[in-house]
Amino acid sequence: MAKIKVELKDRSYDIIVGSGILDELGENIKDEQLGKKIFIITDPLVNDLYGDKLRSGLKGFTHQTLEVPCGERYKNLKMASSLYDQLVKSAAHRDSVIIALGGGVIGDLAGFVAATYMRGINLIQVPTTLLAQVDAAIGGKTGVNHSRGKNLIGAFYQPKKVYIDIQALSTLPARELRTGLAEVVKYGVIEDADFFKFLEANSHHLNTKAFESPDTLRAALKVWQIIVAESAKIKAKVVAKDETETGLRMILNYGHTIGHAIEALTRYKAYNHGEAVAIGMVAAARIANRMKMINQEAVLRIVNLLEKLGLPIEVKGLSAKKIINALQIDKKVREGKVQFVLPEKIGKVVIRNNLALKTINSVLAEMGCQ
């Protein structure tokens, strides 16, 4: 079991990473100054898989489970409003606890509800997808979608704890696992060359096949424990330095500028988050290479690792023009300029907003855009 501290002064908290630890959560939080009333917000699928195990360890608390239908389209103000209703009905108070048990949708939605119900109640993130474990559940970003944009409404709100059971990875569909891997690769590129090497050396463990037999599962879980803990550590370090994304934290957006545009343009269907980010990371690396900021070999290592992990490295069915137009509405625009995170080498990125549209356009064309 690993414990990683997110250093945020009076809002500091621990990330716990372990295998098969879901039923120890109650014990783990019993000494913290939290209320005794717990509301587990989850979806039917995750509830079926992990609800009972989590609940079995909540001795000394009263608890109630609130289910949200599966799917990103329920991550909206209407569903938040229905959760507020249920919390009021059950007399949830300021020291009650919300446990967000599930993937990114649940974490974002339950986190937003915790952030805004009575101006904030206790929140514990229990992420069950790789994407949520290495990214969404750490750092306090919460939010819901609005008809005009994804995560357009939200708040920075830190949990009291992030509690990660990597055994949950063994029930993920292959595509879900891959979408999280894109963020894992990102951490290597932006911050840690050794971690990137570790991923290159262990890429054969990083797929659902590794979970199929007890032997490979055991070996895989060891590797996953390292990967999830290391990713969490890098994310925690960046967040600690810049809680509300005014500066450094923007490096976490490596691959996300173009990635978000592609997700939005394909209506979150043709490409999921990690797939779009993978394409975005390739594009940003190639743009950096054009600008003579990074060498060709490093770009190839990024492209090869993503490909080995089954992630897309080319764009299909979108024009470069559409992508560039879509950049304008993204949250990463500051005073009309698009922010790009560009790698200088594996393990180091910089933020630029002076890119020539011509360069972006020509790289996207090379990558398959018409």
Instruction: Give contact residues for a second copy (rule: CB under 8 A).
Output: 35-36, 77, 81, 84-85, 88-89, 91, 93-95, 115-120, 141-143, 146-149, 151-157, 244-245, 328-329, 331, 333-336
Catalytic one of 24, 72, 243, 245: 245
Q: Which residues contact 302 (CB under 8 A, 6 or more apart)?
A: 185, 189, 281, 282, 285, 343, 346
Catalytic residue at 93?
no
**Closer CB to a second copy, residue 91 or residue 214?**
91
Catalytic one of 37, 55, 141, 150: 141
Q: Provide the residue type at 177 as one letter.
A: L
**Closer CB to a second copy, residue 176 or residue 245?**
245
Catalytic one of 235, 286, 290, 332: 235
Catalytic residue at 141?
yes
**Closer CB to a second copy, residue 71 or residue 336?**
336
Cα atoms in the 13 Å half-sphere on the side-chain side of 264: 25
Pairwise CA distance, residues 219 & 335, whole Å: 49
Pairwise CA distance, residues 55 & 44, whole Å: 15
Catalytic one of 59, 78, 89, 119: 119
Q: From the CB of 67, what's the least distance to a second copy, in Å?
A: 20
Cα atoms in the 13 Å half-sphere on the side-chain side of 161: 22
Q: From the CB of 209, what's the least distance to a second copy, in Å?
A: 38
**Closer CB to a second copy, residue 117 or residue 195?**
117
Q: From the CB of 257, what's the least distance to a second copy, in Å?
A: 14
Catalytic residue at 235?
yes
Catalytic one of 47, 253, 272, 289: 253
Catalytic one of 249, 286, 290, 332: 249
Catalytic residue at 204?
no
Residues 257, 339 contacting (CB under 8 angstroms): yes
Catalytic residue at 178?
no
Which tokens go with 338? 């698009």
3-state secondary structure at position 153: strand
Q: Which residue's structure tokens are 């990713």?
A: 231
DSSP string for residues in 63-83 = EEEEE--SSGGG-BHHHHHHH
Q: From the CB of 326, what's the least distance to a second copy, in Å?
A: 13
Local structure of residue 48 (DSSP, 8 states): I
Residues 360, 324 contacting (CB under 8 angstroms): yes
Catalytic residue at 331?
no
Q: From the CB of 112, what's the least distance to a second copy, in Å?
A: 8
In this structure, the number of other CB atoms found within 10 A of the CB of residue 329 comes to: 13
Catalytic residue at 256?
yes
**Closer CB to a second copy, residue 214 or residue 336?**
336
**Closer CB to a second copy, residue 153 or residue 226?**
153
Residue 287 CA to chain centroid, in angstroms? 24
Q: From the CB of 93, what's the least distance to a second copy, in Å?
A: 5
Pairwise CA distance, residues 114 & 32, whole Å: 17
| Residues noted as catalytic | 119, 141, 183, 235, 245, 249, 253, 256, 260, 273
